[in-house]
Structure 1
Amino acid sequence: MEDATKLIVDYLTSVPAWYLATAEVAAGGAVQPHVRPFSFAMEQDGRIQFCTATTKDVYREMAANPQVELTAWKPGSGWIIMRGAANLADTASPEVRSAGFQHMVGLGECYSGPDDPALTFFTLDNPQAWLCDIDGSWQPLAL
């Protein structure tokens, strides 16, 4: 588990952006997927911490429907897929909070500091992950 978590974090942090998909029930009951770039991932206690803000649509969407999927393509290495249920209970350590804050500010976002209540961290419950190759092969990762 720890090796797979490290592999995923290394993979996600080696590319400029990876993409997180959420889904919300739109007017009339249709499911509307939403995909957006993310770029922060850090391991804490064997779990991957992701960062966003409580003021963003993505947070609202995960609160309403926690099922998410992420993917990243790394040239020459295929791509990774990870899915699970977003756990919005913010358990980030001070080290993770500081790193996430610095990362988000570096992207141009504004927060008063690592403990800004709008800055939040989440993990995935029941995660599943795969490494995939252009030849159609895929390798499940034990999480």
Structure 2
Amino acid sequence: MKEVYDFLKEAETYYLATAEGDQPRVRPFGTVDIFENRLYIQTGKAKPVAKQMAANPKVEISAMDKQGRWIRVAGEVVEDNRVEAKKHMLDAYPQLRNRYSETDDNTQVLYLKNVTATIEAFGRDKKVITF
């Protein structure tokens, strides 16, 4: 899991794919955190992406690093409503505190479960990580 976290942190921006009915939706994200040995992402409950993940928790994440490697992360998200989890994420991204708070009704943190992550690059063997 740490290798997946490190890859996404280094990439800075990753792309989260969800489904809305039969239409795929992809958008850039930047928040990733490890809390209590789980990989977390963050969004706002008012956003369409939160509603999409509530309707279908299966997501995929993709990013590319500066060495030309890419990662694909497939898994399911689980919302964690605990203040401690939200605070941990917001402490890692203090610039979000002007829009989010661990005690508001909008901040949403979700951890990934049943994850299969694949790191690849042209001409190199792929690496598969599960957690």
Q: Distance in 1 between matches of 2:76 and 2:116?
A: 10
- For the Cα contact (< 8 Å) 1:97–1:115, is it kept in 2? no
TM-score w.r.t. the length of structure 1 is 0.81
Q: 2:3 aligns with which of 3, 7, 14?
A: 7
**Equivalent in 98, 112, 117 of residue 124 of structure 1:** 112
In 1, Cα distance between the equivalents of 2:122 and 2:50? 32
Uncovered stretches (5+) of structure 2, i.e. residues with no partner: none
Alpha-carbon distance between aligned partners in 2 of 1:95 and 1:89, rounded to the nearest angstrom: 12
1:38 pairs with one of 29, 46, 49 = 29
Tell me, in whole angstroms, the C-alpha distance in 1 between the residues paired with 2:58 and 2:118.
17
Measured after TM superposition, the shift of residue 13 of structure 1 is 1.0
**CA–CA distance in structure 1, aligned partners of residues 15 and 120 of structure 2:** 15
Is the contact between residue 74 and residue 115 of structure 2 (CA under 8 Å) also seen in structure 1? yes
What is the aligned-residue identity percentage?
Answer: 29
Stretches of structure 1 lacking an aligned partner (at least 5 in a row): 26-30
Three-state SS of the structure 2 residue aligned to 1:129 is strand
How many residues are matched? Answer: 129
1:98 aligns with 2:86: no
> Cα distance, 1:137 vs. partner?
3.3
- From the superposition, tell whether residues 93 and 54 of structure 1 become closer, same or farther in structure 2 (CA, over 3 Å): closer
CA contact (8 A) 1:50 1:121 kept: yes
In our comparison, the structure showing a higher alpha carbon Rg is 1
Scaled by the length of structure 2, the TM-score of the pair is: 0.87
In structure 2, the partner of 1:59 is: 50
